[in-house]
A and B are shown apart, each in its own frame.
Chain A
Amino acid sequence: MSHPTVKELESDSLQSLSQAQVGCDFQIQFVEGPACEQLRNLGFCESLQVRKLANGRNLVCSVCGTRVALSSDLADQVKVSPLAPALS
């Protein structure tokens, strides 16, 4: 997995999972932060699809068919981009 360039980070297509819109599908671009191993263990791996189901103090997402609840500071460590047809 190559690390994103500054340009990519700034582009609007890349956003953190906590800011992402509810009800849409995204692709995980990279996971970075102190809890990234924990997140990967629960299925938040680069290139996988994730659907955000609910917002709030803890968000609910569905990743590889499993629903996972995670706190928004964890979700901040997951960077996603919208899947082609869903948004834009």
Chain B
Amino acid sequence: MEDSTDLVALAGNPNSGKTTLFNALTGSAAKVGNYAGVTVDIKRGETRTPHGAVLEIIDLPGTYSLEGGSPDQQIAREVLSGKHDRVPRPSLVICVLDASNLERHLQLALEVIELEIPIVIALNMVDLAEKTGIRLDPVKLAEELGVPVVPMQADKGKGIVELKQAMRHPFPAAPDEIGWEKGDAESRRAFGLSTSDLSARRPTAHTSTLSDKLDRVLLHPVWGWFFFIGIFFALFWSIFSWAGIPMGWIESAQEFLIGKVEGLMSEGDFRDLITQGILGGVGAVVIFLPQILMLFFFIGLLESSGYMSRAAFLMDGFMAKVGLSGKAFLPLLSSFACAIPGVMATRTIDSAKERLVTIFVAPWMSCSARLPVYLLLVPMLLGGREGGAKQALFFLGIYVLGTLTAFAVARILRGRLGPDEVESHFMLELPPYRLPQWNYIFRHVLDRGWAFLRKAGTTILGIMILLWAATTYPKLDSEDPGEVLSHTIVGRISDTIEPLVKPMGFDGRTGTAILTSFAAREVFVGSMAQLFQIEESDDEDETRGRIRDRLAAETWADGKPMFTMPAVLALLIFYIYALQCLPTSAVVAREAGSWKWAVGQFVFMTVFAAVAALLVYQVGTFFSS
């Protein structure tokens, strides 16, 4: 059965709506965005034709032509020409064309026709074409090309049924005769232009669209920056300020559960495991779910509105100073959500050296896993209402600091790698602004939220249980809680590493929490919640007090406060810079083509983080004493 299903590939220029169509056909939720280069890898799915046949659908990265181009475009080319090592040659190609820009999009379709694979043309975005006043004639287009043409609007699901009808056996064979000279780019181009003139007549008057008007402001050398900074400030400020209410709900639920368990179970190790380890530790991380959802929501808005390419355009001048192009800003911006898709997205960068540099610095763009750590620490630094403007500004500063360091390192590294063999230039499509597809965004945000909860229920839960065991055993019969703790595994680890981390202002427990966060950054918050409640466990109310208050009240053995301004700053700096994400390292190794890059990056970032934290603490204490 498996190998008899036909393979159908979706091909087309970037941003023509291939993934939207893929999602509509297969019911998946692959990433869609309003800029060129969203899909950088092959996605697979299945669909059923009205006749009940099952077809395997693959979504390809967008490509402008079957020659040249960046690594993502090469993947599409290899699949279409049957040279990909893991994907067989497709039995049918659905070529997705943007009807509002047929002059350009048709060229790729003609190239695919030359390959003599059965082809169906999905003439997408007919709504946009009509709005621009283009007179579409799909019948004429089908006649001229000799292949079926299905007009459609993928984002509203219009034309999907008709497309499925066209996908039935026998697949429409490639035309016997073509109207241009095969293999001759110039003749093909001339044919494409005359055909699009016949089947998609453009009005002669050039009208100024809403996007043109918006761009006049958003790409303006002065106003553009004003809005750029404003947009990002609003983004981080709202993440920081708005989530207080849903967080309060989660917190109350957590406290309610702890209270319930304490009421129901008799005192003992098992109850401690549930209240301290699981509810206390995992709960401390899950509290940050609302903020993480908000971050993904806002990044989703940026991606689907069309602003991403404008941000890249604005940043190009700045990026050129560090030896990168504006295009490299797109993967870096995606890394604010998560470095893994960010590193993957570097496939859209033409220059191999520029791509390596971007991969190397991408993890310095603060990802969503660092959010809980920042949100825990920032209010400890600045007094005042939690979520106030001062804290929000500081919070934005953390992101700016990470980004600027990434640029500085990129500059040094770019200089060392030497110039490119082939000079590449900045060239970027600025797609029309679009209203976000709300249903897609909500689905995407829910998916990410679910992924976060899954992580909390697996990795984080596992580590919390281990940590709980390590803070409980081996037991010592003593009345002094300090003595009991130092007898346990964690106590011993923490005594061993304390001399190492003390110059950075941390005690052994914070050091242990940092160690556990190498499994996943968010774990830090849970570990701190667990490690800093043990001594007070005789007072039930205290244990449930907010972790931040507990940390603020913590003192060294000599009675001096532990979490002073320099110490918290050092902790923040460490988390801004350290690379504590194994999946990222694995993806870096794959994308950079060698483990050396991944290992080098890990060592460099970790050492950098430790040295920076050390300096901050030492200089900070010097000035504050």
By a beta-carbon cutoff of 8 Å, the part of chain A in contact with chain B is 1, 25, 34-35, 37-43, 45, 47-49, 51, 53-54, 56-58, 60, 62, 64-71, 73-74
Contact = CB atoms under 8 A, between A and B. Distances in A.
11 contacts: A38-B425, A41-B107, A53-B216, A54-B216, A58-B316, A67-B212, A69-B309, A69-B426, A70-B426, A73-B425, A74-B427
Contacts of B67: 37
A67 B427 CA distance: 11
A41 B211 contact: no
Contacts of A34: 423
Chain A contact residues: helix, strand, loop or mixed: mixed
A70 to B, nearest CB: 5
B425 A42 contact: no
Q: Kindly list the 7 A-B residue pairs having the minimum CB-CB distance in the complex, ordered from nearest.
A: A41-B64, A43-B104, A67-B430, A64-B103, A71-B426, A70-B427, A71-B425
B428 interface: yes
B425 A68 contact: no
Contacts, number: 100
Nearest to A73: B425
B68 interface: yes
Given A57-B317, A67-B211, A69-B313, A40 B423 contact: no
B606 interface: no
B193 interface: yes
Contact of B427 (A42, A47, A48, A66): A42
Contacts of A43: 101, 103-104
B16 to A, nearest CB: 11
Given A51-B206, A53-B212, A42 B429 contact: yes
Nearest to A49: B206
Given A41-B64, A51-B206, A57-B320, 12 more contacts: A35-B425, A45-B103, A53-B212, A60-B430, A65-B134, A67-B431, A68-B429, A68-B430, A69-B430, A71-B425, A71-B427, A74-B427
B404 to A, nearest CB: 21
A62 B212 contact: yes
Interface residues of B, number: 38
Contact of A65 (B101, B186, B193, B317): B101
Interface string B145-159: 000000000000000
Q: Which of A35, A38, A47 has the most CB of B within 10 A?
A: A38
B100 interface: yes
A39 B216 CA distance: 23
A73 B102 CA distance: 27
Contacts of B431: 66-67
Contacts of A39: 427
B487 interface: no
Contacts of A54: 215-216, 219
Nearest to B312: A69
Contacts of A71: 316, 425-427
B65 interface: yes
A66 B316 CA distance: 20
Interface string B425-445: 111111110000000000000
A7 B444 CA distance: 58
Given A40-B189, A45-B193, A67 B429 contact: yes
Contacts of A64: 101-104, 202
Contacts of B202: 64-65
A41 B215 contact: no
Nearest to B426: A71
B132 interface: yes
B263 interface: no
Contacts of A74: 425-427
A42 B14 CA distance: 11
A1, A41, A49, A56: residue with the most chain B Cβ atoms closer than 10 Å: A41
Contacts of B103: 43, 45, 48, 64
Given A25-B206, A53-B212, A60-B215, A66 B101 contact: yes
B206 A48 contact: no
B215 A53 contact: yes
B221 interface: yes
B193 A37 contact: no
Contacts of B428: 68-70
Contacts of A56: 221
Nearest to A66: B101
A69 to B, nearest CB: 5
A13 B102 CA distance: 28
A39 B65 CA distance: 11
A71 B423 CA distance: 12
Contacts of B316: 57-58, 69, 71
Given A45-B189, A64-B103, A58 B68 contact: no
Interface in B500-545: none
A51 B206 CA distance: 9
A38 B221 contact: no
A38 B202 CA distance: 24
A41 B216 CA distance: 25
A65 B589 CA distance: 40
The residue among B67, B103, B211, B423 with the most chain A CB atoms within 10 A of its own CB is B103
